[in-house]
Amino acid sequence: MQEIFYIEVPTPNSEAVRTWLQWTYQPIQGEKVSAPQGCLVRFTQPIGELSIFVWSLQRTTYLKVIRWSERPLPQESQLLRALEQQLRVAFPQEYPDLPAFDPQRQSIFAALQATHPLTVKYFQRMPKGEYDLNRVYWWEKRWREGVRSPQDPKAVIFAQPEPASTAPPTYDLIYIGGALGVIHAAVMARLGYRVLLIERLAFGRMNREWNISRQEFQNLIDLGLFTESEFESLIAREYQDGFNKFFDANNPPQAKARVLHTPTVLNIAIDTSRLLQLCGEKLRRAGGEIWDETEFTRVDIDPHQARVQARFLPSGSPRTATGRLVVDAMGTASPIAWQLNGGRAFDSVCPTVGAVVKGFAPGVWDANFGDVLNSHGDISRGRQLIWELFPGPGDELTFYLFHYHQVHPENPGSLLEMYEDFFTILPEYRRCDPEQLQWLKPTFGYIPGYFSLSGRDRTTAFDRLIAIGDAASLQSPLVFTGFGSLVRNLPRLTDLLDTALQHDLLQAQHLNQIRAYQSNIAVTWLFSRGMMVPTGRQLAPERVNAMLNTFFGILASESSAKADQFIKDRFGWLDFNRMALKAAFTNPALLLWIWDLVGPKDMVRWLGSYWSFTVSAFVNALLRPWFPQLVRRLQPWLEVKAPGLWLWLLARSYAVTYSWGQPRIERVLHREPQAEPAIARLQS
């Protein structure tokens, strides 16, 4: 007995494939006999048979062929090629469109009942299920519109050559987006700036939960935004260990791996509602304002100010505010980000769905442990599905299901399809009965990635406008997303933005220097690219799991400190190259797999990223011992005489220490009291 063929048939209707094998399929050689799970193909010269059978997993269908013979049967390879070709014609890869929905004529539940029955069923059990499912639909609709019309994005930024008014702006900073935005807004308000926060939802509601480690959160404590006791009050759960394991039952021996333990990666579940409310309170106490349930519509920018126009959703009435600077924190659906980078706003995305639940039976999961990255099957309908599981307060668990996805107009990536998968296959991933669970809230969103060639190849600013978080999309995340990136980079973003505001350096050329770019993260986009199944391609089902297990198996063989550094984006040039060479030696086929997946064009692009990483690593290694200190010594006179040059040097000083994801809060060596930097003012 020998397995000789394994493919995925991209349809959830496994019974249709089984029936096709039993009644329609005709092999080019041998005699076909129907079998309960498919069919047999029998040969008399020599004696032997092929067993063709299918099974269902992850809401798709898998097919294997087993040879019952000591040697290959007549025309065996031709028979298998013909079988695959006929299956591809009978069951092609499909990318469903978003179902039609008119909120004036029907409810979201009625609109989706026929196409997404389980999604409707379980959203109806959530406290604000109809409201949240409308949000899922709205988010996917806006995302699809941006992906399908990247060359002609909706214009929301309008440059005006003449000032619209001689009156000074009401605010220094106007933040659009209240999740990541309120953290940054609270910090800037505490520095004395007049801040307005505009949020489309009721303030405090989140599409996702946030996990972090103590090491990352320390930045917010060092900045003075939170005290140690406030941080402890924000911890919903701290688990003992996190597991990383990918399905490897069909992998070759060199692509199997043991569990990677990461006990200090995303091991703290944050009470996001309390965090947002606390930031909102600190913002208001510092004189800031919050306009929630208010949707941004456009911004007009003239030489003196930015004029933001919005709409108060409950009444539909217009709202207008003027400010010195607008901060886009709207995330992946940001029309500002699409306009600034029309044609190439994002290179990849992780469509992510999930839920916060409770009611698991004892023994199903221990709340002292989390799943950081986990898969329980191979490629499913053009996606390698990956799970995350994080314990919450009490007996609550937060689940995420996502996949790395290449942005493509024919296949933008669907949240609704993912939700139908989620509710269907959750019992496969964890032994549970969804009927017995208490569904508390959904978690969903699009997490973007950008394939950076250097620190300058993405536009994150316009005159009097700057993007942060997922709207800036300067990372191609393996684990950390907009929240982790913002927290890690908050000290430098705060100091640089404070410097720009103090000296009115609010033109695009200055603001584009204020960014959360890391050269070591930029080079890892090849990993995330290798986890994506290109639109229209059918890969060996085990391919992505085999690649992931190769890399994570190497991490599992490293010290816990090295694995922790890599997962947290804190690795250096030597470690990156050492592990890349080790991966190639462990699994030589890996290089061919990557080439097959990414192609020559993206391989050349990645070599550009690698060269940029190498140069950056070399230059920063030379500069790190002395350059940041020299810049601070020059500050007292240089900032006064040449503020533009000072901002440029300060940005590069931070880049030297942040390039490997190892930030430190810059201490002031010599500075006049009236020019005290943002970090020192916050700490005091």
Q: Where are the domains of the chain?
A: 2-90
Instruction: Return the bridge partners of 369, or none.
Output: 241
Q: How far apart are CA 488 and CA 349, in angstroms?
A: 21
Q: What is the reported pLDDT for 679?
A: 64
Q: What is the reported pLDDT for 343?
A: 59
The enclosing H or E element of 447 equals strand 438-449
**Residues 6+ away with beta carbon under 8 Å from 111:** 99, 100, 101, 102
Q: What is the reported pLDDT for 673?
A: 34
Nearest to 497 by CA among 456, 449, 460: 460
Nearest to 479 by CA among 267, 266, 660, 662: 266
pLDDT of residue 671 exceeding 60, the answer is no
Tell me the mean pLDDT in the region 85-94.
96
Tell me the mean pLDDT in the region 348-368.
88
**Residues 6+ away with beta carbon under 8 Å from 103:** 134
pLDDT of residue 367 exceeding 70, the answer is yes
- Assign 97 a pLDDT band (cuts: 50, 70, 90): very high
Q: How far apart are CA 28 and CA 268, in angstroms?
A: 58
The DSSP call for residue 21 is I
Q: How far apart are CA 531 and CA 535, in angstroms?
A: 13
Q: What is the reported pLDDT for 358?
A: 92
What's the whole-number average pLDDT of the chain?
A: 89
pLDDT of residue 30 exceeding 90, the answer is yes
Tell me the mean pLDDT in the region 308-329.
96
- Assign 172 a pLDDT band (cuts: 50, 70, 90): very high
Q: What is the reported pLDDT for 469?
A: 79
- The token pair that represents 14 in the structure block: 């496994």
pLDDT of residue 674 exceeding 80, the answer is no
Q: How far apart are CA 679 and CA 377, in angstroms?
A: 47
Question: 209: buried, middle or exposed (CB in 10 Å: 19+, 13-18, 0-12)?
Answer: buried
pLDDT of residue 536 exceeding 70, the answer is yes
pLDDT of residue 504 exceeding 70, the answer is yes
- Assign 668 a pLDDT band (cuts: 50, 70, 90): very low
Q: What is the reported pLDDT for 207?
A: 72
The identity of residue 375, as a single letter, is S
Residue with more model confidence, 152 or 279: 279
Mapping DSSP to helix (H, G, I), strand (E, B) and coil, where does residue 67 land? strand
Q: What is the reported pLDDT for 419?
A: 98
Give per-residue pLDDT as tens, 610-652: 998 899 889 988 998 999 999 999 999 999 999 999 999 999 9
Q: What is the reported pLDDT for 209?
A: 82
Could you tell me how far CA 41 lies from the centroid of its own chain?
46
pLDDT of residue 478 exceeding 70, the answer is no
* Cα distances (angstroms) measured from residue 111 to each of 95, 104, 118, 120: 19, 11, 13, 9
Asked which of 3-7, 154-158, 671-675 is least confident by mean pLDDT, the reply is 671-675
- Assign 665 a pLDDT band (cuts: 50, 70, 90): very low
Q: What is the reported pLDDT for 39?
A: 98
* Cα distances (angstroms) measured from residue 644 to each of 458, 516, 641: 21, 19, 9
Q: What is the CATH number of domain 2-90?
A: 3.30.310.50
- Assign 473 a pLDDT band (cuts: 50, 70, 90): low
The DSSP call for residue 34 is E
Tell me the mean pLDDT in the region 670-678.
47
Residue in the structure block whose two tokens are 């208010």: 294
- The token pair that represents 103 in the structure block: 């909120």
